[in-house]
Amino acid sequence: EYLIINGVECEPYLTADHRLMLEKADEILEGIRIVQKIVGMPEVRIAVEINKPDAIETLERKILERGLEFQVVPLKVRYPQGDEKMVLKAVLDREVPRGGLPLDVGAVVSNVGTVYAVYEAIVWRKPLIERICTVTGQAVARPANLKVRIGTPIGEVLEDCGGFQEPPVKVVLGGPMMGFAAVDLSTPVTKGVSGIIALGKKEAALFQGNPCIRCGRCMAVCPWGLFPTVLYKLIENQEYAAAWEEGLPDCKECGCCAYVCPSRIPLVQAFKYGKLMSRKK
Ligand code: SF4
Ligand code: SF4
C-alpha cells in the first residue's frame, strides 16, 4: 500500500542524509520511482523532520517540477523517530506487531541513502562502494560531510578533515546514541557508518556506574515499552534466556534508558552483550 521513505535522521550530530536530500534530490526521487515499481506500492510518503526545512522545500519543489504524486510528511523532531517502526507510526499511525515487519501493516520503509544507492545501481550500474559520512565532533579540525569509499580507515577520513584540533576522548562510529566506539583509527568505514564523531573533552565525560536506585526513569522513556532495569538485572545474573523472554530482542539499543539513568549504568552495552550471549547459547 505505502512506500515510506525515511529522511528523518534523528540522531544528534549526523547530517549526512540531510546533505544528500539537498544535493541529490533528483536522484533520490528517481530512486524512489524505481523502488516503487519494484515493490509495487502505489502511495509514497517521504518523512522529514521539521528541523530540515530546506530539505522539505527542495523535495516538494522537485516533486512538483517532475509532476510526481509523492507526498513529503514533515514530522516533529523526536528521538528515536528514525527507527522504521517509529517512522511508520508517525506517518501512518500504524503499529507493527511485536516481532513483525512493516509489510504486516501494508508498508515498506526505505532510507533516503538506500534509494539513492538503488538509483546509482540501476541507472549507472554502480555497486555500493561509497557512502556519505558526517565527520564531526569537537576534536575534529574541519567538520564536514564526505563521500567515503567503503573500507577506508577512519584515520584517513579524519586526516582529510584536518586531523584533530584536540586529543579525542572517544571516536564514535555512527550517531552518539546508537553508534559504537572505534577500537583504533585503522577501523574501516562500512556501509552502515553514517558518521565518524571524534568527541572532545567537554563532550565525552567518562562516568563510573553506580547501583540501580529503582527510580523507574528507564522504563518511563523506553519507546518500546521494555523494562530496562529488569533486563539489566537478568543479564548481570547471566540469565540470558529469561532476558530474551523479557523482550531483549525488541531492544533497539536506542540509548534512551542509559541517557536518563541517574546511576549512569551502562545499560546499552549490557543489552548488546546479552544479545550476543543469548545467540551463543
Ligand atoms: S536501549 Fe533498549 S531498553 Fe533502552 S530505551 Fe532503547 S529500546 Fe528501550
Ligand atoms: S534509570 Fe537507572 S537507576 Fe533508575 S531504575 Fe533504571 S537502571 Fe535503575
Cβ partners under 8 Å of residue 190, min gap 6: 150
Ligand 1 centroid distance, CA of 209 (Å): 17
Task: Please check whether residues 100 and 173 belong to one and the same domain.
Answer: no
Rounded distance, CA 50 to CA 76, Å?
A: 6
Residue at 206 is within a domain:
no
Mutate to test the pocket of ligand 1, among 10, 271, 273 (most ligand atoms within 8 A of CB): 271
DSSP 221: H
Domain boundary among 91, 123, 155: 123
Ligand 2 centroid distance, CA of 217 (Å): 6
What φ, ψ does residue 77 adopt, rounded to 5°?
Answer: -80, 115
Task: Please check whether residues 97 and 163 belong to one and the same domain.
Answer: no
Starting from the edge strand earliest in sequence, which strands make up the sheet with 180-181, in order?
144-149, 130-136, 195-199, 170-173, 180-181
Domain extent, residue 239, equals: 217-280
Rounded distance, CA 178 to CA 117, Å?
A: 23
pLDDT for the residue numbered 281: 64
Domain boundary among 103, 123, 143: 123
Q: For atom 5 of ligand 1, which residue has the closest CA?
A: 222
Name all residues whose Cβ lies below 6 A of ligand 2.
Answer: 212-218, 228-229, 260-263, 265
- Of residues 254, 249, 250, 255, the one with CA closest to residue 275: 249
The pLDDT > 70 percentage for the chain reads 100
Task: Answer yes or no: is the C-beta of 255 below 6 A from any ligand 1 atom.
Answer: yes
Q: What is the mean pLDDT of residues 88-114?
A: 93
- The band of 218, judged by pLDDT with boundaries at 50, 70 and 90, is very high
Q: What is the mean pLDDT of residues 231-239?
A: 96
- Of residues 176, 232, 169, the one with CA closest to residue 202: 169
Enumerate the β-bridge partners of residue 245.
Answer: none
Mutate to test the pocket of ligand 2, among 261, 267, 271 (most ligand atoms within 8 A of CB): 261
Give me the numbers of helices (H) and strands (E) for the chain, helices first please.
11, 9
For the record, the C-alpha cell of 84 comes out as 522504521
Sign, CA torsion 138/142/145/150: negative
Ligand 2 centroid distance, CA of 264 (Å): 8
| Confidence check: pLDDT of 98 > 90 | no
Which residue has cell 547459547?
Answer: 281
Mutate to test the pocket of ligand 1, among 252, 261, 265, 268 (most ligand atoms within 8 A of CB): 252
Residue at 208 is within a domain:
no
Count of domains for the chain:
3
Task: Please check whether residues 71 and 172 belong to one and the same domain.
Answer: no
